Structure 1
Amino acid sequence: MFKEWRRQRAVGRVKSGDGRPLKPFRWWQQFNRSLYYLRQDGRTEYAVDVRLMGDAKTGEVHANLFRDGRHHAVSKVPAIFPVDGGVIEVAVSRVGLRRCHHVTDGGAEQQLVPDPKSAEGRRARLERNHPAASRALGFLSVVMLIIGVVLLVLQVAEPISRIPPIAENIGIFESPLRLPAWLNIALTVGAAMASMERGLRMRYHWLLDGAGN
């Protein structure tokens, strides 16, 4: 019931588009724009265009739906756009899209196809052309995020354990790791890059990816 209420609320946020043409993807938009397509057997073509930096004034992120190259609808994210045969669901994280799927009336799901010039499209091409390298990169991303989560837990646990009631009843926890500043910085950068890599593939886990978001 709550899920259906959220769904109806998201659909209610959708506003009509202004009919402007879809602008082509440019190389300098690699990390602030996501563009995905849904082609339905040579019939209607939909495109979802999301500017990840958000509105310059409000910071709100909007998803724009284009139908056959023209602006058809817009909504704040998370967004649910009614389309032929179902809906398109769009959700974001701080590092990219979490979801951009066509869900049919029967419940079948299909991820939309990224623009080949986008960062997501280039990552998808790597997966198609070099699957072994793609799997290795995905595995490395998970490892970096696990390390990041462990370090975060250790860093948070120590100051929390010094709160008087906790210290008196449990004792003070002292982290067994004392990493040099350069290594801390390197691991932080590595975790950020791992989150970005997973964002390009719309991979999201509440613990791994949510810890830094």
Structure 2
Amino acid sequence: MQRVKPGDGRALKRFRWWQSLSRALFHLRLMDGDSGQTVYSVDVRHQQHSSSSGRVVAHLYLDGRHHAESTVPAVFPVQGGTVEVRASTVGLKRCHYVTAEGAEFQLVPDPASAEGRRARLDRSHPALSRCMGFLSGTVLVVGVVLLALQLAEQITRDPEGVAQYAGTLTSPIDLSGWANTVVGLCTVAASTERALRLRYNWLLDGAAG
């Protein structure tokens, strides 16, 4: 919270289709007993970084006006709790409302955003959505296994190092340069798909990033 800076009151800009891979926009609607409904919006431009820290900046809007900003990971004080925002190398891994009692609720993605379209696919075609989720998870598992085998082979290659204690390991899978490139692209795509659903695992998605 110490990194949170006050906003300048500017209006929230509408999400454009060409921002699908560079921007995330989520909303939180809370009922206020006095004024009705209060709308908080979290706007993250993945390419926008703080000049001092180099970290991604998250912006909080209140009823369409710039209310606060912070580098991520960010914790914004809001009505009845806080909004927590965390980013990965391919998108967001957390954008949740945490109440004072400790309950957690994921914010709703803007319908025009990539996250919003992914959520709409999940609602309209749940079987296809589950299949895509399973496929992305499988791709990441395969990518982690291949990476681990290649790292183990590199580490045990030096006869005066680990090899003298554990022996030399030769990976049973020998990928060419172009094959490694394809695997890398597939893992990035899989992590991106998971990021659209705010799914993150430190081993699977962290290795891909």
TM-score of the superposed pair, with normalisation by structure 1: 0.91
Residue type at the aligned position of 2:180: N
Q: Secondary structure at the match of 2:161?
A: helix
Give the share of equivalent positions with the same residue, in percent: 57
What's 1:12 paired with?
2
Shift of 1:56: 8.0
Can you list the C-alpha shifts for 1:6-55, whole angstroms capped at 9, x where unaligned? Answer: xxxxx111110000000000111001100000011351100000011123
Instruction: State how 1:95-106 maps to structure 2 within 5 Å.
Output: 95-106=90-101
Shift of 1:183: 3.0
CA RMSD of aligned residues (A): 1.3
Shift of 1:188: 1.7
Q: Secondary structure at the match of 2:175?
A: coil
Residue type at the aligned position of 1:165: G
Structure 2: 5+ residue runs without aligned partners? none
Distance (whole Å) between structure 1 residues aligned to residue 176 and residue 131 of structure 2: 28
From 43, 46, 51, the counterpart of 1:49: 43
From 64, 89, 92, the counterpart of 2:87: 92
| Contact 2:50–2:71, Cα closer than 8 Å, also in 1 | no
What's 1:165 paired with?
161
Q: 1:165 to 1:182 in 2, by over 3 A?
A: closer
Shift of 1:186: 2.2
Distance (whole Å) between structure 2 residues aligned to residue 56 and residue 65 of structure 1: 15
What's 1:115 paired with?
110
Q: Which moved more, 1:96-105 or 1:161-170?
A: 161-170
What's 1:176 paired with?
172
More strand by share: 2
Q: Secondary structure at the match of 1:198?
A: helix
Aligned: 1:186 with 2:182: yes
